[in-house]
Structure 1
């Protein structure tokens, strides 16, 4: 099954899509450093990017997708999230970086069997409610595009009228997609990071596919059980008694658990990086992208990620890197910045994957990325349903 990847970034979503069995035939990314990262790993034959075409370095607005009509199973991508990020300026549709219209255009021109798009949780804020609805209706009816002189809110009203007139699309014979959008916490799917993203998944309506988002496989309750009830977490890490600390709030919650949860435990920072040497050690130089970065400081609102919890959401920052989200807090209260390799592990990138650029540049790429494992969970389920439909229609 072939795929087109938009706004590829450092490749997190694309790698998850590839792991699901999709083969990218076109990749588009405007950022030079991200293209350098992808190309370096292609040259180094790092799977799965070794099988990718060379990314198009340029503006997606100049790319014609019509040659892929009827040939591509999946369109995926993460339209730039800064217009909706809690760390950004919240301009939404007024932000020149808002590329949702280009994502819809790609769907309109390619007419894929399905699409997967993702964005920051900030898009679900009440202030963006109308624009989120606008995105959803455009994705459901991509052929009803805005007129040359039509602003976005007038186009939204026209889409709303169309949606109600056709009874949710039931009486519409044009290109239509059934759409689900849900906020997923990456920690609930085995990623060692509390990272919430809204994911949009659509299937072309003529395929008549019934689908739901995959159920969570990991939970905080299961982690608390291992840390506070069975102690298997601490035993597994051979942690000393002094290290076995859980805050009072978590301990109180653990005491309410009556039986072991059926899910797996949330993965923690310690789970992710415990086998890596300290970045100040002599052995660190042998690890790709594992270099010490000085200057970490802790103060209120800037406290880092505790070692024995999933990491806070890694962030890209507007100018450089915000240290609070990208610091490790040890059991003794000391802090240091995560290395690029540690951050890559928190985003479930493979250890062989090299991030190009300085520490701040590499961290920016990772802060904007989709965790590979989260992308793979969603994409594998989409692929399974597409393959089942193909078999049933054969």
Structure 2
């Protein structure tokens, strides 16, 4: 099934889509360094991006009619700074708000489905009005905003159409906030996903169930001890860490539950088998370079090793400290290398990044974790395949 990837960034969502079986007809990204990341991986024949048609262009100027009419899915993460807790909170007033271009792609391509991702901050109460506008636009992409019509007037027109419409919406749209840690990503990263299916398909779909849990991680640490054994952690270290979890451990021991999910993956899991770049410089691992200067300050204390990392962030003015560093076993702090950050975002080790340290960390801070993207994309692909099978049997 052919797909189009918008606002591709470093390629997390695009790789997840490709892993799920989608074939990219176009990968659109305006940032030069991010496009150089794609090109570098294509030069050394990284399987994840082999043969992708990369377009280094502003999505607002991309001509979708050049792609034909057989696009199964449009996916992408419209720039999230307008809605980020760390941004300026300007939403629809921010010229980086690319949701209108996501809707234009759906309107012009009329794909069978779409997958869009954004920061959890978009669901805040202060953005409720604009959030409803996004949903209505995705449900009725053919009702484009008129010349001279502001977004409030456009939303009112969409609401009137929706309330008076006797038939189904053009697209049936669902949204939910997913935590990447619940799907095997070693990072606590909550993002809102919008998934829509063209209503004429009659698709049956729901968001995929979590595959990993915090409870299973706690059991592996404090009930059966398998986590510590796996990493060769000493009894002393366990005793140092235990007070942080004492109340939750007490609950687990007093009321044990049947655990059917895998455990959360931790920062320590992600960094396993990577040498300390401060101690070992000549290791031959790409993007694994020590950066000095990590320090803690109020609200920015770094990730702990034995939990999923904090959410990696792009940073509006450079790399934010607390979200892009971790606390070592000896209590000192160190910035994540680009390679370590890539593992926290579940990129394959063969995937290389181009640009300065701050620029590559920005690519990673904006990325969709590959593993999470793949889980969502596979569920969408399965639903579309079921629709195709049903259509063939009824014809």
Q: Is 1:139 aligned to 2:138, yes or no?
A: yes
Query: Deviation at 1:391?
Result: 1.3
- What whole-Å deviation, never above 9, does each CA across 1:295-319 have from its counterpart, x for those lacking one? 0011221110000000000001011
Matches within 5 A, 1:234-245: 234-244=228-238, 245=240
- Contact residue 228 and residue 251 of structure 1 kept, 8 A: no
Match 1:182 to one of 170, 176, 187: 176
Partner of 2:77: 78
Q: Judge conservation of contact 1:288–1:354 (CA < 8 Å) in 2.
A: yes
Contact 2:208 2:375 in 1 (8 A): yes
Q: Does 1:6 align with 2:1?
A: no
C-alpha change, 1:37 and 1:255, in structure 2 (3 Å) is same
Give me the whole-angstrom Cα distance separating, in 2, the residues matched to 1:65 and 1:194.
Answer: 35
What's the offset of the Cα at 1:347? 0.2
Report the Cα offset of residue 210 of structure 1: 1.2
Name the CA shift for 1:151/1:247 in 2 (closer, same or farther; >3 Å): farther
Q: Which residue of 2 aligns with 1:50?
A: 50
Give the TM-score, by structure 1 length. 0.96
Match of 1:254 among 249, 252, 261: 249
Match of residue 15 from structure 2: 15
Q: 1:334 to 1:282 in 2, by over 3 A?
A: closer
SS in 1 for 2:83: coil
Partner of residue 348 from structure 1, selected from 337, 346, 349: 346
Deviation at 1:44, TM superposition (A): 1.0
Whole-Å Cα distance in 2 between the matches of residues 254 and 212 of structure 1?
33
Q: Residue 67 of structure 2 corresponds to which residue in structure 1?
A: 68
Contact 2:25 2:67 in 1 (8 A): no
Q: CA separation in 2, counterparts of 1:300 and 1:151?
A: 41
Q: CA deviation at 1:334?
A: 1.2
Q: Is 1:225 aligned with 2:219?
A: yes
Instruction: Provide the C-alpha distance between the structure 1 equivalents of 2:190 and 2:301, rounded to a whole number of angstroms.
Output: 19
SS in 2 for 1:286: coil
Counterpart of 1:104 in structure 2 is 103
- The residue correspondences of 1:159-174 to structure 2 (distance < 5 A) are 159-167=158-166, 169-170=167-168
Question: In structure 1, how many angstroms separate the alpha carbons of the residues matched to 2:332 and 2:283?
Answer: 23
2:152 aligned with 1:153, yes or no? yes
- Give per-residue Cα distances to partners, 1:101-147, cap 9 Å, x unaligned: 01000000001010000000010011100101100110010001111
Give the equivalent residue in structure 1 for 2:308: 310
How many angstroms apart in 2 are the aligned matches of 1:100 and 1:137? 12
2:389 to 364, 379, 391: 391
Write the deviation string for residues 221-266 of structure 1: whole angstroms up to 9, x where unpaired.
1111111111100001111112224353522112212135211110
Checking the alignment, whether the CA contact within 8 Å between 2:275 and 2:283 is kept in structure 1 is no
**TM-score, normalised by the number of residues in structure 2:** 0.96
In the other structure, the counterpart of 2:30 is 30
Q: After superposition, what is the alpha-carbon deviation per residue over 1:321-368, rounded to whole angstroms, capped at 9, x for unaligned?
A: 001100011233211100110000000001111110111111110000
Q: 1:272 & 1:251 partners in 2: Cα distance? A: 25
Cα deviation code 1:264-315 (max 9, x no counterpart): 1100000111211101233653111111000001122111000000000000
